[in-house]
Amino acid sequence: MSARAHPDFLWRNPDPRPSYDVVIVGGGGHGLATAYYLAENHGITDVAVLEKGWLAGGNMARNTTVIRSNYLWDESAAIYEHSLKLWEGLSAELDYDLMFSQRGVLNLAHSLHDVREGRRRVNANVLNGVDAEWLDADEARAFCPILEVGGHTRHPVLGATLQRRGGIAKHDHVAWGYARGADALGVDLIQGCEVTGFEITGGRVRAVLTSLGRIAAGTVALAAAGHTSVLAARAGLRLPLQSHPLQALVSELLEPVLNCVVMSNAVHVYVSQAHKGELVMGAGIDPYTSYGQRGSFHVIEEQMSAALELFPIFKRVRVVRTWAGIVDVSPDASPIIGTTPVDGLLVNAGWGTGGFKATPGSGWVYADTIASGRPHPLAEPFGLERFTTGALIDEHGAAAVAH
Amino acid sequence: MQLIECPWCGPRDEIEFRYGGQAGIAYPKDPAALSDEEWAGYVFMRDNPRGWFHERWFHVHGCRTWFSVRRHTVTHEIGRDPGSPRREEFG
């Protein structure tokens, strides 16, 4: 990366024009990536991204930045691996240091079942061209020396899967990089613009109604994560999504102590150490539906008790902040990408607890779907119709909660 | 930690309860007659409002009563569901 000074601004703040070829609703990571690839890959630049708050102020600002592609099912492995390959060239592509660090992701096994599931997933990953290794407990400890693998703990570590190409990135840099790139290609990024309704005639969407007035659109592409159901309802659509709080926290700043990402599905913990030094930890979702962007403290408490079993060295570390984002979870814990019963209205939602890692891949396939009018081959299995055909992509069972 | 009012036990900590999702989802009267779309609706489609939501809770670590409440999905305020039984109505 170049060492030149950071520019004074990264994008214009234009007023909306009366009409666009494509209106993307939601200025988070996925919406911004979609806009960038629409312009860069497909030459479609008459595009607006409408964001009710500020760019990347929702889940993009709240996630734990874990990046991996070691999913069990073929469809998931394909789209997440596509995304990981894009991550590997993204800092150069966007000319922005995303602090993408492939430090390796461990997924711990605490029971015989976990061991079997982990080994099976490693085999499936390898068959799909996704790098994956199985580590026994000693090897896991060698890879992550502060990990407690002893046999007398509540959650003994019996082994782990390792994806060496997995890691973390700096979430806001990702959003800013995509935003700057999209803006430079002519996309209008419009903040403080809430979509309050849709103009639909003859079964086709014609315009969005916003807090800044009516904006006509050839295609309207939803990219609103946890608030997708609210928008869809305004278009008369019912989607198989439930919005839940997902909590995360950071510790005070520490010297480098944790060299990789450690995830444990069984005990609902995932932890890494950010470049700045804080430990970043995520929990499982709160069970009830919510748009309140906060969760219950006992969920954090359970997460911390399990984390301390795995990392006794952290027992005197102080938590600095906790927060929650609102994640839209589909029945099979896989995304919903593609067309809807309303012509010209597309949906990209349901990424649930795992959307950050998918940001480049999601934007890539969504842009292609918008540009061509048919699902990108990697998006095709993730269509809304799978809930009727029964062809689910059940990553609930395969990826469990830490997603 | 939220306080949730069980109709039998009264207000108790949230950790005693399990969430049951949207209330009023009845098993189809004639399952064999359902189309694939109708099955998808019954199995997968649930309301997901920003605002008041009519939903089920289960006092799993208490009296094991299933009951319904109205809960606001932004404020998390819980109101009694008029259709849910009151303590004096339990035999």
Domain assignment present for residue B10? The answer is yes
Q: B74 in a domain, yes or no?
A: yes
User: What pLDDT does B88 receive?
Assistant: 74
In angstroms, the CA A367 to CA A369 distance is: 5
Structural domain boundaries, residue B75: 3-79
Torsion, Cα A221 A225 A226 A230, to 10 degrees, reads 0
Hey, which CATH number is domain A103-166+242-329, 3.90.79.10, 3.30.430.20, 3.50.50.60, 3.30.9.10? 3.30.9.10
Of A227, A230, A287, the CB nearest to B19: A287
Report pLDDT for A400.
Answer: 43
Model pTM score: 0.95
> Closest partner residue to A298 among B15, B37, B39, by Cβ?
B15
* pLDDT of res. A7: 75
Identify the helix (H) or strand (E) that includes residue A304.
helix A297-310
Burial class (CB in 10 A: 0-12, 13-18, 19+), A46: middle
Both tokens of A85, joined, read 């390959």
Q: Look at the alpha carbons of A255, A257, A261, A266 in this order and tell me if their dihedral is positive or negative.
A: negative
- Calpha distance A81→A120 (Å, rounded): 18
Which residue shows structure tokens 């000693």?
A138
Nearest Cα neighbor of A146 from A260, A13, A70, A274 is: A260
Domain locations in chain A as residue ranges? 14-64+171-241+331-399, 103-166+242-329
Looking at the predicted structure, is the pLDDT value of residue B79 above 90?
no
So what's the pLDDT on residue A268?
80
Parts of chain A with a pLDDT under 70? 1-4, 151, 397-403
**Chain position carrying tokens 């060698």:** A142
- With beta carbons less than 8 A apart as the criterion, state whether A248 and A372 touch: no
Look at B19 and A288 and tell me if their CB atoms are within 8 Å: yes
What is the maximum alpha-carbon separation in chain B?
44
What DSSP assignment string belongs to A165-207?
T-EE--HHHHHHHHHHHHHHTT-EEEES--EEEEEEETTEEEE
To probe the interface with A, which of B4, B37, B39, B48 has the most A CB atoms within 10 Å?
Answer: B48
- Residue count of chain B, please give it: 91
Q: Which residues of chain B are within 8 Å of residue A287 when distances are taken between CB atoms? A: 18-19
**A167-197: pLDDT as tens digits:** 999 999 999 999 999 999 999 999 999 999 9
| DSSP count for chain A of H helices, then E strands | 10, 18
Q: What is the CATH number for B60?
A: 3.30.2270.10
Q: Classify domain A14-64+171-241+331-399 at the CATH topology level.
A: FAD/NAD(P)-binding domain (3.50.50)
B45 to A240: CB separation less than 8 angstroms, yes or no = yes
Which residue of A lies nearest to B1 if distances are taken between CA atoms? A296
- Cβ contacts (< 8 Å) between A389 and chain B: which residues? 36
Do residue A243 and residue B73 have CB atoms under 8 angstroms apart? yes
Please answer yes or no on whether A291 and B73 come within 8 Å at the CB atom.
yes
Cα separation, A2 vs A11, in Å, equals 19
How many structural domains is chain B composed of?
A: 1
Q: What is the DSSP string of A67-82?
A: E----SSHHHHHHHHH
Q: Is residue B44 part of a domain?
A: yes
C-alpha–C-alpha distance, residues A192 and A183, integer Å: 17
Q: Which residues share a beta bridge with A166? A: none
- Residue A26 one-letter amino acid: G
Rounded Cα–Cα distance for residues B82 and B25 (Å): 17
Contact A144, A137 (CB under 8 A): no
> If we measure between CA atoms, which residue out of A210, A237, A253 comes closest to residue A344?
A237
**Which residues, 6+ apart, have CB-to-CB distance to A113 below 8 Å?**
none
Interface predicted TM-score (ipTM): 0.93
Tell me the C-alpha to C-alpha distance, in Å, between residue B1 and each of A199, A301, A349, B61: 42, 11, 29, 15
Q: Give the Cα-Cα-Cα angle A253, A175, A212 (nearest 5 degrees).
A: 125
- Residue A6 DSSP code: P
Partners of B21 on chain A (C-beta within 8 Å) are 242, 289
B78 min Cα distance to partner chain A (Å): 12
Residue B87's pLDDT is: 72
φ/ψ of residue A108, rounded to 5: -80, 150
Chain B residue with the nearest C-alpha to that of A291: B74
A-chain residues within 8 Å CB-CB of B71?
288
Let me know if residue B84 belongs to a domain. Answer: no
In a domain, B86, yes or no: no
A112 sits in which H/E element:
helix A112-127
Instruction: Summarize pLDDT for A15-41 with one digit per residue, the tens.
Output: 999 999 999 999 999 999 999 999 999
B32: pLDDT strictly greater than 80: yes
User: Looking at residue B91, what is its pLDDT?
Assistant: 58
